[in-house]
A and B are shown apart, each in its own frame.
Chain A
Amino acid sequence: MSTELIHPENPVEQFLRSDRIPHIWCPGCGIGTTVNCFTRALIDSKANLDKLAIVSGIGCTGRVAGYLDLDSFHTTHGRAIPFATGLKLANPDLSVVVYSGDGDLFAIGGNHFIHAARRNVDIKVVCVNNLVYAMTGGQTGPTTPGSVVTATNPYGTFEPSFNLPQLAEAAGAVYVARWTTFHVRQLARSMYEMFQKKGFSFIEVLSPCPTLYQRRNKMGDGLDTMKSYKEKSKKRDGAPTSEVPLTRDGEIVVGKFVDRERPDYLTLMKAQFQASLGERYQEPEMHSGCEFEQSEIDGGTICQ
């Protein structure tokens, strides 16, 4: 019997909107690699895909939502986290994942990131960090390290950059990890762990941007970057996040840095209301749709 006929399908396939593939990402870009890891984590965690929503902002990573066969939202630039907050609070049965880039989440969306972490809203945030604004042509971002050339720092960057795990921990995230697109098994495992956590969880994934970061800095292509991840990464689970900043050519500390328990937003909210209001407190009931007989009005289904 031919193995071609009975071989298993690529595990990622069942999660893709296959009519939208091939995707728009460049050769050697790592975003697709993170998607593989994400789907393996979904399989391992036996996630109910009908109750899983993915929210992206704007940018290259912002396009992830459009390729995954889930309830998916491609929102405005920087606002994936507050959108996800509303989605989660209105329907706590949903598992809500924010999947976006470093510029989207930490420059224009930085304020929302720290506040959602502070509130400990139960959302999972995956940041694909390619160290640059890629979709718009390679401008400096909040994670761009010093001494690299970008479209807006043609003479070299000089602004200090964010150390994302430290920022996430300081703001209150209950789970903080960093991997690169070289660490596919570890990343998939980390995403699995993230799904087991209740509360604001954060994974940073370093990813090549051969077109707009590596090329300008004569760092080679995507494969060269993957090799450099392999060489320069050092796994240090539990490392103090203050010790893991990224530099242009230095060591990349990867691992799980934070895994702690804090009551999430809705838990705190309900506890407070129950303490203050006792039996008067009503659990949120959001249903806005029709519970009654449906009829046709103007061709649409509006309820009477």
Chain B
Amino acid sequence: MKADPKGVLTGTHFMDGDHACCEGALAGGARFAAGYPITPSTEIVERFSSRIPVVGGVFIQMEDELAASITLQGAVWGGAKAFTVTSGPGFSLMMEHIGYAAMTETPCVFVDVQRGGPSTGLPTLPAQGDMMQARWGSHGDYEMIALCPNSPQECFDLTIRAFNLAEQFRTPVMFMMDECVGHMTEKVVIPPAEEIEVTPRRITSRKPGDFQLFEPCADQVPDMVEAGQGYHFHVTGLTHSENGYPSMTVKSQEKLVKRLCSKIRDNFDKISLNEETDLENADVAVVAYGITSRVAMRAIRIVRERGFKVNNRKIRVGMYRLITPWPFPDERIHALAGRIRGFVVPELNLGQMCREVQRAAGGHAVTIPVPHAGGTVHDPETIVAAILEAAK
């Protein structure tokens, strides 16, 4: 369906990534946010708190991130599209409720504007150190969807996509920004509402008594209801059967948890969105995401401008930009590994997504990490050096 015009601020704007994320949430249908202030993410809910009374919805500032991350889920079951916004320390506190959302198949969005860690770390400075936490942070087995914007425009566009994916697959979606993208101000074009596709909740057409809240449809995702509709349904974080009742057996565990994973894995093609630039005949593929992808583009241009050669032939380098780092594009990376010399993986952490690249490459191409502890972006020259090494 099309976006509700009330939430769409159509026009050409000059705004930062945090504000654009908020506008994306509103355009995507979010009418409820629960938050707790934390730099560098707070501007998102500050804007939401200013906008929502004239759009029609609720913002509540909770007492901590534990509360915020479950309040939003209560709102979802009350019928709202809802999200919360945080940064590293708050993201750590939210982990249990990301697991709860995965287990109860509660569609919602968690925005993490990444800053330097561990612990309080660098509150005002960028990092990309939460990528593995986004995937694996809660206990137990589940699959995750995560998106990484690299511009304020993408903060708008991909936030809508995050809400749509959450609804389509009844799952929590991680929106992994970084401080640079959050605080970078650029042109943001917000289209008219009728040009914005919004995925509505998968509300069942079945009647009470003929509906099971966790019975999967053909795409492995169950339809949903909201409270107050007469279904008298049960939701629990315990292992449950399709009717929602606790069922703590080996059989129920296997059936449920495997489906929570396969509903994401088997729908990979509908979820995954990654960008390939100049990879057709590349020797080297730089794999990057978020702000680092923009620094990496600078490094790629430097390599071309300087005309670096290997075996008397100019190095051909392209970029594989992870827009949906999770689920990780194993097959595509594996295919690329079969025809390039090496991957270069710059990231604002000491080695997270590079491990995924190395794993997916399966030894068919070298993987050279370009680690950075965070606090600023890479010096492009460090990426240039890695490209030269990978091309050897």
Direct A–B contact in the complex, CB atoms closer than 8 angstroms:
yes
Is A115 close to B, CB under 8 A? Answer: yes
Nearest-neighbour CB distance to chain B for A272, whole angstroms, equals 9
Contact A289 B201 (CB under 8 A): yes
| Residues A277 and B54 in contact, CB atoms below 8 Å apart | yes
Q: Are A301 and B205 in contact (CB under 8 A)?
A: yes
- Tell me if A251 counts as interface (CB < 8 A to partner B): no
Chain B positions 184-210 with a Cβ under 8 Å from a chain A Cβ? 199-205
Q: Taking chain A's interface residues, is the majority helix, strand, or loop, or is none over half, making it mixed?
A: mixed
Segment at the interface with A among B67-75, B279-287, B312-320, B349-357: B67-75
Complex contact B53–A91 (CB within 8 A): no
User: Who on chain B is nearest to A289 by CB?
Assistant: B203
Stretch at the interface among B57-65, B173-181, B288-296: B57-65
- Whether A93 sits at the interface, judged by CB under 8 Å, is yes
- The number of residue pairs between A and B whose CB atoms lie closer than 8 Å in the complex comes to 207
A47-103 residues at the B interface, CB under 8 angstroms:
49-51, 53, 55, 65-66, 69-76, 78-79, 82-91, 93-94
Shortest beta-carbon distance from B108 to chain A in Å: 10
B142 to chain A, nearest CB (A): 15
Is A294 an interface position by the 8 A CB rule? yes
A299 and B219 contact, CB distance less than 8 A: yes
Q: Which of B68, B80, B237 contacts A286 (CB 8 A)?
A: B80
Q: Does any Cβ of A come within 8 Å of B236's Cβ?
A: yes
B82–chain A nearest beta-carbon distance, Å? 7
Which single residue of chain A is at the shortest CB-CB distance from B208? A50
Partner of A50, one of B29, B58, B204, B230: B230
Q: What residues of chain A lie closer than 8 Å to B75, measured between beta carbons? A: 86-87, 89-90, 286
18 further A-B contacts with Cβ under 8 Å, apart from A82-B68, A286-B31, are: A73-B236, A75-B100, A76-B70, A76-B97, A78-B66, A82-B70, A85-B60, A86-B72, A86-B75, A87-B78, A89-B75, A91-B79, A115-B63, A269-B58, A273-B53, A282-B53, A286-B75, A301-B223
Contact B205 A294 (CB under 8 A): yes
Closest residue of chain B to A265 (Cβ to Cβ) is B60
* Chain B count of residues within 8 A CB distance of the other chain: 64
Contacts A284-B57, A298-B219 given: A79-B97 contact, CB under 8 Å? yes
Please determine whether B223 and A86 come into contact, CB atoms closer than 8 angstroms: no
Partner of A301, one of B29, B96, B199, B203: B203
A65–B240 CA distance with the chains assembled, in angstroms = 14
The answer, yes or no, to whether A10 is at the interface (CB within 8 Å) is no
Chain A residues whose CB sits within 8 angstroms of the CB of B57 once the complex forms? 284-286
**Residues of A participating in the B interface, judged by any CB pair closer than 8 Å:** 17, 20, 49-51, 53, 55, 65-66, 69-76, 78-79, 82-91, 93-94, 111-112, 115, 269, 273, 276-277, 280-292, 294, 297-304
Among B201, B204, B234, point to the contact of A65 (Cβ < 8 A). B234
Q: Which of A49, A72, A84, A285 contacts B31 (CB 8 A)?
A: A285
**Chain B residues, CB < 8 A from A292:** 1, 200
- CA gap between A76 and B77 in the complex, in Å: 15
Q: A281-B54, A298-B217, A298-B218 are in contact. Are A82 and B62 (CB under 8 A)?
A: yes
CA distance A65 to B199 in the complex (A): 31
Contact A282 B74 (CB under 8 A): no
Q: Which of B123-157 contact A (CB under 8 A)?
A: none
B235 interface neighbour in A73, A91, A94, A277, Cβ under 8 Å: A73
Contact check: which of B1, B80, B96, B228 meets A53 at CB < 8 Å? B228
A70 to B228, CA, bound (A): 9
Partner of A75, one of B70, B200, B205: B70
Query: Is there an interface contact between B79 and A82, defined as CB atoms closer than 8 Å?
Result: no
On whether the beta carbons of A288 and B201 are closer than 8 Å, the reply is yes
Let me know if B54 and A86 touch, CB within 8 A: no
Q: Given A79-B67, A89-B60, A94-B227 in contact, is the A289-B74 Cβ separation under 8 Å?
A: no
Residue of B60, B63, B70, B227 with most partner-chain A CB within 10 A = B227
Chain A proximity of B63: nearest CB distance (Å):
4
Select from chain B the residue with minimum beta-carbon distance to A89: B58
| A288 and B53 contacting across the interface, CB-CB below 8 Å | no
> What B residues does A285 contact at CB under 8 A?
31, 56-57
Query: Can you report 10 A-B residue pairs in the complex whose CB atoms are below 8 A from each other?
Result: A17-B245, A73-B235, A82-B67, A82-B71, A94-B78, A94-B228, A280-B53, A298-B218, A298-B221, A301-B203
Contacts of A93 in B (CB 8 A): 228
